[in-house]
């Protein structure tokens, strides 16, 4: 019996040691956003999810986490980060953007960050790592406000970023201290409701640029066919001129 216990203990120790070189499972990070088009002025929710990605039949490491460092990137002219929410997320000890005085990387210039990059920390309860199934768990929700007209805008999880000190997006394993079990990372793209059909270039205003696009399509098919007749003509020109100026949708 003693020999069997020793053999099992040795096997587990060897498996854990092997995990420090390559985890049995990885934990991927994914951003999930609205499934429908957004509008200017709308506050949207972008959820950060963690999902287990099995690498072998053994499950000693890479199935739970104690901490996550996540670096975000977005276009601040399109989207403004308003803050975060823990509603609907797994229970955590801490879920926050470190303040500039506590952010050794220099990424967060204010809280919440406004310059298009931000560092987020998630810390599991002490002694109770967060289990991550293959179906995934929600870690946190980031709230963004749509600031301007655009056809699409992407919010990225950045692998690495250097401002004052190099920083990485990392998922720390819940079994082997300090083990990096970061798997795949997935960004999210949101699309916007066109301000109005006559805004052919999507800049939020019907003007000379849209008129030029319509005239270039004259007599043929294209986005300038505002009345749906199958060809761009005088009726479409009248619609565009009637919408001249800022579109109501913005």
More confident residue, 228 or 94: 94
Residues 120 and 142 placed together within one structural domain of the fold: yes
Looking at the chain, the whole-number percentage of residues with pLDDT higher than 70 is 89
Whether 97 and 179 map to the same domain: the answer is: yes
- Quick check: 15 pLDDT over 80? no
Question: Residue 10: pLDDT band by 50, 70, 90 thresholds?
Answer: very low
CA atoms within 13 A on the CB side of 80: 11
Is residue 199 in a domain? no
Residues 145 and 107 in one domain: yes
* Residue 67 C-beta-side C-alpha neighbours within 13 Å: 15
pLDDT at 82 over 90: yes
Listed residues 191, 213, 237: the one ending a domain: 191
105 lies in the same domain as 216: no
Does 176 lie in the same domain as 61?
Answer: yes
Read off the DSSP letter of residue 223. Answer: T
Q: Is residue 196 part of a domain?
A: no
Dist. CA 122–CA 96, nearest whole Å: 7
Mean pLDDT over residues 203-215, rounded?
A: 91
Three-class SS state of 215:
helix
Do 224 and 184 belong together in one domain?
no
Res 3: pLDDT: 44
Q: Are residues 129 and 231 in the same domain?
A: no
What percent of the chain has pLDDT above 90?
Answer: 75
Are 247 and 206 in contact by the 8 Å Cβ rule? The answer is yes
Per-residue pLDDT at 118? 98
Same domain, 124 and 216: no
Task: Choose one of 191, 213, 236: the last residue of a domain.
Answer: 191
- Checking if the pLDDT of 194 tops 50, the result is yes
- pLDDT attached to residue 199: 87
The answer on 136 and 61 residing in a single domain is yes
Helix (H) or strand (E) holding 49: strand 43-54
Are 29 and 64 contained in the same domain? yes
* Per-residue confidence band for 208, with pLDDT thresholds at 50, 70 and 90: very high
Domain assignment of residue 152, given as a range? 2-191
The pLDDT, as a whole number, for residue 250 is 41
CATH number assigned to the domain comprising residue 145:
2.60.40.680
User: Mean pLDDT score of the chain, rounded to an integer?
Assistant: 89
Residue pointed to by tokens 């406004």:
114
Residue 144 lies in a domain: yes
**Helix or strand or coil: residue 189?**
strand
Average pLDDT value for residue range 7-31: 63
In the predicted model, is pLDDT for residue 14 greater than 50?
A: no
Residues 70 and 181 in one domain: yes
Averaged pLDDT, 60-70: 96
Domain count of the fold of the chain: 2
- Specify if 124 maps to a domain: yes
The mean pLDDT value for 215-237 works out to 94
Strand 182-186 and strand 25-32: the pairing is parallel
Same domain, 173 and 235: no
Confidence class of residue 221 from pLDDT cuts 50, 70 and 90?
Answer: very high
Give 139-162 pLDDT, tens digit per residue.
Answer: 999 999 999 888 899 999 999 999
- Evaluate whether residue 66 is within a structural domain: yes
Cβ 48 vs Cβ 142: under 8 Å: yes
């Amino acid at each position: 019996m003693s020999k069997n216990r020793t053999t099992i203990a040795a096997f587990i120790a060897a498996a854990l040691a092997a995990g420090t070189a390559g985890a049995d499972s990885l934990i991927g990070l994914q951003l999930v956003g609205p499934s429908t088009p957004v509008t200017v002025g709308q506050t949207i929710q972008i959820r950060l999810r963690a999902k287990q990605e099995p690498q072998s039949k053994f499950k000693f490491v890479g199935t739970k986490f104690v901490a996550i460092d996540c670096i975000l990137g977005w276009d601040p002219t399109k989207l403004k980060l308003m803050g975060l929410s823990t509603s609907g997320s797994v229970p955590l000890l801490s879920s926050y953007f470190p303040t500039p005085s506590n952010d050794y990387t220099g990424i967060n210039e204010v809280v919440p960050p406004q310059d298009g990059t931000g560092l987020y920390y998630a810390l599991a309860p002490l002694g109770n790592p967060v289990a991550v199934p293959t179906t995934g768990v929600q870690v946190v929700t980031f709230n963004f406000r749509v600031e301007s007209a655009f056809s699409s805008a992407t919010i990225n999880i950045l692998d690495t970023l250097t401002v004052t000190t190099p920083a990485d997006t990392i998922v720390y394993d819940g079994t082997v201290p300090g083990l990096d079990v970061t798997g795949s990372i997935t960004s999210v793209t949101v699309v916007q409701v066109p301000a109005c059909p006559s805004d052919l270039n999507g800049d939020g205003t019907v003007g000379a640029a849209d008129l030029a696009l319509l005239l270039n399509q004259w007599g043929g098919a294209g986005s300038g066919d505002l009345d749906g007749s199958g060809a761009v003509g005088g009726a479409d020109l009248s619609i565009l001129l009637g919408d001249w100026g800022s579109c109501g949708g913005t």
